[in-house]
Chains A and B, each alone.
Chain A
Amino acid sequence: MQDLAVESLKFIDLNLMSILFLFVIGFIGGLVSGFIGSGGAFVLTPGMMSLGVPGTVAVASNMCHKFPKAMVGAFKRFKYGQVDLKLGIVTAASAVVGVQVGIQIQHYILEKWGEAGSNLYVSLAFVVILVLVGGYVFFDAWKIAKTGGVEKVTMLARKLQSINLPPMIHFKKANLTISLWFTIPVGFAAGMLAATIAVGGFVGVPGMIYVVGASSIIASATELVIAFIMGLGGSINWAMHGMIDIRLTLLILAGSLFGVQLGAIGTTYVKDHMIKIVMGTIMLLVAVSRGLAIPKYLDQLGLVSMNAGDINLMTKISFGIMCFALVTGALIILGSMWKARSPRFATEESYGKA
């Protein structure tokens, strides 16, 4: 397996275009991650594969860039007082278990139905979870924006926090006390999703908001701690199999370390519900993208019969929409920062001249 990896790595030649491509998608992925706590991975892995990188090497190299990016982002947001370290560590503990279970399920499906079956499972997971969770997050953000931008703790979280089921844990930064038993499903689900679609934050962040009762700012910042812990564990695993192409990792990291810090700065300029708007938008667009990929796998499994040209077209549109999702998220973030920054900049300029 190691020789195969080495052989595969030796086949990847990097030119200026591919270096720039990796830097740019790294920057955009980092920007989104720094802002909403997750995201980017679902474009980075296919992005690398589009350059000819084998799937396992792409996943391994992406994961090896994810944990340092998450570490830098978490540190930046920790300085802004947004990270609840205890909540992150407690949730990460169950997330790590969720990752292992998710991997076992993937192995089982792969053995039973082959690669097409595994891809179909991943795509269905994408569509179902992202439509349901992303739709709810977007609807919630829209409601908040309409009613004046005040985030409130959900009924479910209020109920769970009021239940006295030891051990009860107080999370100082998030300013809430909840039973450990209610944080476990959130972390476990985030870990499982990370193992399935590579983005655990799409369940982790909404879970911390709607189940545990943390604010969007705290949840998205704390998710970076969970991403760091999960990413570090996964990277060590991949490194032991010799699957990491350090060149790809470092090129993506070159862009993402700029992006993640800019995204973190952006959270201090916008209202809390903007995080939900960005997250919901990206999730819904990615759901559409993965929905377009499903017919291909159904055809491969012989469940439907489709024209090869149509499948090829849908695959290209699917990838295009995925990139569009990330770029849209980045534009919303930068646009919000620009809008919020204009009066501040003008005022400081005026003050400096006074």
Chain B
Amino acid sequence: MNIKSDSKNSRMEECRKILVVGEEGLFSESLIDYAVQVAKRLNYNILSVSVMQKGLEEVSGKPGEFLNNLFRMKAESGGIGYDNLLRYGDSGIIAEKIIHEIRRIGFIITGSDESKEKIAAEVTIPVFSVFTNKNIKGGKKMAEEIKQKKPVGKTLGYGAISLALYAAVFTNTDTITDYFTRGGWYSALPILTVFAFSFAHGAFASNFWSLMGIEAAHTDTKVVTIEKSVKDDVRSNKVARKRPRARAYINPFHRL
């Protein structure tokens, strides 16, 4: 499917999108409902991708067509633009390729934690997963886990320590300034003081941001690597040249 071909698709391309990944071409009803609900709230369109195993390209018929039609119907009845892609291979690599080929994909939703981990390892945008209706209990537990405990006690504790340290310094500035500027062995005093402050105040600041709900989006760092090939690697080329020519080994019995 060429998403850029007609005017409807070009409008789709310009809008912000959620990418919904269906492993084995499957989109559970809870995944469909959830994606449509979020897209409505955020005024996003939906781009779904049915990911099939490599090697199934020759299988006739469009896999998961029924679920895709259901997804389309629910999205369009909610006034949300919808399109679907069919891809073969690893979902993580496919998702990464899609977000680079197609603009304005905000985040990804998938149907399981396993799929989410696979995709999150390859992409730099947020990835979320939902459980299916079959595991309602697990879904509720997941909802509870998302509401992580806010570090109120830690924030207040470290905040109090930090405040006490600042009060101690700023109520005794003359004495402290006198000792801290003597030089020589006294030079350890300002160094140790800033270390102490950075532990207490740094912990306070860290817990403060957590309390505000501001935390890291993901911790999988994508590392840019050189694509190694015999052509690119000089050392590999030198080793390759030293090897005997291939045709001498085509027929090991040629001396018989």
Residues of chain A whose beta carbon lies under 8 Å from any beta carbon of chain B:
2, 5-6, 9-10, 64-65, 67-69, 71-72, 76, 79-82, 148-153, 157-158, 161-164, 173-176, 213-215, 217-218, 232, 235-236, 239-247, 249-250, 253-254, 257-258, 261-262, 265, 268-269, 271-272, 340-348, 350-352, 354
Q: Beta-carbon contacts of B97-114 to A below 8 Å, as 1s and 0s?
A: 000110000110100000
Whole-angstrom distance between the alpha carbons of A67 and B147 in the complex?
35
B66 within 8 A of A: no
- The binding surface of chain A is classed by DSSP as helix
B180 within 8 A of A: yes
The reply to whether A153 and B143 form a contact with Cβ atoms under 8 Å apart is no
- A81 proximity list for chain B (CB < 8 A): 219-221
* Total contacting residues, chain B, CB less than 8 A: 69
- A68 proximity list for chain B (CB < 8 A): 194-195, 197-198, 202
Q: What 5 A-B pairs are tightest by C-beta distance, nearest first? A: A239-B187, A68-B198, A242-B181, A215-B224, A268-B216
Looking at B1-9, B52-60, B231-239, the stretch in contact with chain A turns out to be: B231-239
The reply to whether A351 and B169 form a contact with Cβ atoms under 8 Å apart is no
- A257 proximity list for chain B (CB < 8 A): 198, 201-202, 205
The reply to whether B130 and A152 form a contact with Cβ atoms under 8 Å apart is no
The reply to whether A65 and B194 form a contact with Cβ atoms under 8 Å apart is yes
Whole-angstrom distance between the alpha carbons of A10 and B232 in the complex?
63
Q: Which residue of A lies closest to B183 (CB)?
A: A242
* Of A153, A174, A250, A258, the contact of B169 (CB 8 Å cutoff): A250
The reply to whether A268 and B177 form a contact with Cβ atoms under 8 Å apart is no
For residue A38, give the distance in angstroms from its CB to the closest CB of chain B.
Answer: 18
A-B contact pairs, 23 of them (CB 8 A): A2-B181, A2-B183, A6-B181, A64-B190, A68-B197, A79-B219, A80-B219, A149-B100, A151-B224, A153-B224, A153-B225, A163-B234, A213-B224, A217-B222, A218-B223, A235-B190, A240-B187, A246-B190, A247-B173, A250-B166, A268-B218, A269-B217, A346-B38
Q: Beta-carbon contacts of B103-132 to A below 8 Å, as 1s and 0s?
A: 000110100000000000000111010100
For residue B236, give the distance in angstroms from its CB to the closest CB of chain A.
Answer: 9
* Of B41, B130, B180, B215, the contact of A265 (CB 8 Å cutoff): B215
The reply to whether A152 and B177 form a contact with Cβ atoms under 8 Å apart is no
For residue B126, give the distance in angstroms from its CB to the closest CB of chain A.
Answer: 5
The reply to whether B217 and A268 form a contact with Cβ atoms under 8 Å apart is yes
The reply to whether A2 and B195 form a contact with Cβ atoms under 8 Å apart is no
- A350 proximity list for chain B (CB < 8 A): 34, 37-38, 41
B206 within 8 A of A: yes
Q: Which residue of A lies closest to B232 (CB)?
A: A158
- A232 proximity list for chain B (CB < 8 A): 191
The reply to whether A64 and B194 form a contact with Cβ atoms under 8 Å apart is yes
Q: Which residue of A lies closest to B100 (CB)?
A: A148
For residue B112, give the distance in angstroms from its CB to the closest CB of chain A.
Answer: 14
Whole-angstrom distance between the alpha carbons of A232 and B142 in the complex?
45
Given contacts A214-B224, A240-B183, A343-B44, 16 further A-B contacts (CB under 8 A): A64-B190, A79-B219, A81-B220, A81-B221, A153-B224, A161-B226, A175-B223, A239-B191, A246-B176, A250-B194, A253-B197, A261-B206, A265-B215, A272-B222, A351-B146, A352-B146
The reply to whether B42 and A271 form a contact with Cβ atoms under 8 Å apart is no
Known: A2-B182, A247-B173. A253 touches B101 (CB 8 A): no
B244 within 8 A of A: no
Known: A80-B221, A350-B38. A247 touches B170 (CB 8 A): yes
Known: A81-B220, A346-B38. A158 touches B226 (CB 8 A): yes
Whole-angstrom distance between the alpha carbons of A101 and B50 in the complex?
60
B184 within 8 A of A: yes
The reply to whether B181 and A5 form a contact with Cβ atoms under 8 Å apart is yes
- A250 proximity list for chain B (CB < 8 A): 166, 169, 193-194, 197
Q: Which residue of B lies closest to A215 (CB)?
A: B224
- A72 proximity list for chain B (CB < 8 A): 198, 202, 205
Whole-angstrom distance between the alpha carbons of A232 and B198 in the complex?
13
| B121-180 residues at the A interface, CB under 8 angstroms | 124-126, 128, 130, 139, 142-143, 146-147, 166, 169-170, 173, 176-178, 180
The reply to whether B126 and A340 form a contact with Cβ atoms under 8 Å apart is yes
Known: A239-B191, A257-B201. A82 touches B34 (CB 8 A): no
Known: A64-B194, A246-B177, A257-B198. A173 touches B223 (CB 8 A): yes
For residue B174, give the distance in angstroms from its CB to the closest CB of chain A.
Answer: 9
